[in-house]
Amino acid sequence: MEEPRVINTHIMKETVLFNSKNGRVTNLDFFDALCSINANEADVLYIHTALNFGVPGNLRKKELLDSIYDTLRELGVETIIFPAYTFSFCNGVGFDVQHTKTQMGLLNDFVRQKDEAIRSVDPLMSNVLVGKHTDFVTKTGKCSVGKNSTFDLLHNTELKVKFLFFGPKIGDCFTYMHFIEERENVPYRYRRMFTGEITDGSRFYEDRFELFVRYGNVFPGQGSYVYENILLERGIAKKKKIGDSAITILEEEPAYDCYLDLLKLSPSFYISEPFDDKSKTTTFHVKNMVAL
């Protein structure tokens, strides 16, 4: 066991979080890996998570999640945002801002319950924020990936925004790309309104929110993974292997530009086959929607 290290004026004791095929993974390993890809050099970190780094060590679940969360906070980034999507109205259920769980990962739902966390009032694609610049979740509108969404506010800020993939691949879950599609008004998606009931503390009311959904006969292709490979090849994304997985990071502006270039190169780049406008269908049947 290494001696405790002073990081950002705090003392961090090394704690084993995962046991992987490549050896143990500690909180200090995560911190060093995050700094090696410059995750600490951001004003805002938007973090997608998947705790697939190995088999959890001897810590209890809360201890494990607390240690990972504390390590991320030790980076000193002013604002950290986690997706806390529920797609509640899409699934025909109400949304409770304080209590509705998210299926975006154990860590995301753990952070959602923190006293310092603020959640956007969005029954489709809410986000949870800790730190400064709370406008990213408190000043959102009613278009979940459109105008005045968290993504829109991030795109238009002068702050340095980075997307961090703590475990998952970019191609698996880069939801920001659907904001780009909305801005470009891609033909294979359309704007659909969803209505339902919202509970926010003592308030209970009905509301409507808009989502840019795929037509019923359109399916995602492998384009997002090709996009990921291009980001890595061009050095736009930085990746660090750790345990049985990896962490990857990219800046908002070059990520946006690269995605848009590929979309302009081929309008069907990100879907399974060319879009046929004549056969489009707005049929929408979802039981447990977890992704856009």
162 assigned to some structural domain: yes
> Does 203 have pLDDT greater than 50?
yes
290 within domain boundaries: no
Q: Considering the domain boundaries, does residue 15 fall inside one? A: yes
- What tens digit of pLDDT does each residue of 246-256 get? 999 999 999 99
Residue 9 has pLDDT above 50, yes or no: no
pLDDT at 3 over 60: no
Which residues constitute the domain of residue 100? 5-279
- 288 lies in some domain: no
- Examine the pLDDT at 160 and tell me if it is beyond 60: yes
Instruction: Tell me the average pLDDT across 204-231.
Output: 93
Asked whether residue 291 is domain-assigned, the answer is no
Q: Are 273 and 221 in contact (CB under 8 A)?
A: yes
Number of helices (H), then strands (E), belonging to the chain: the values are 9, 15
Range name among 86-90, 131-135, 165-169, 286-290 with the lowest pLDDT average:
286-290
pTM score: 0.93
Whether 102 shows a pLDDT value over 60: the answer reads yes
Polymer length in residues for the chain: 292
Domain count, the chain: 1
Confidence check: pLDDT of 153 > 60? yes
- For residue 280, the model assigns a pLDDT of 81
Residue 131: strand pairing partners = 79
Nearest to 30 by CA among 16, 10, 45: 16
- Confirm whether 284 is domain-assigned: no
Asked if residue 60 is part of any domain, the answer here is yes
Assess whether pLDDT exceeds 50 at residue 1: no
Lowest pLDDT segment from 35-39, 76-80, 233-237, 274-278: 274-278
In a domain, 46, yes or no: yes
What is the pLDDT confidence band of residue 4, given thresholds at 50, 70 and 90?
low
Say if residue 7's pLDDT is above 60: no
Element (H, E) at 194: strand 189-200
- Mean pLDDT score of the chain: 92
pLDDT the model gives residue 287: 66
Within 215-264, strands assigned E span 237-242, 245-251
pLDDT of residue 284: 76
User: Does residue 100 register a pLDDT over 90?
Assistant: yes
In angstroms, the CA 87 to CA 80 distance is 22
Average confidence (pLDDT) over 255-281 = 90
pLDDT > 90: percent of the chain: 83
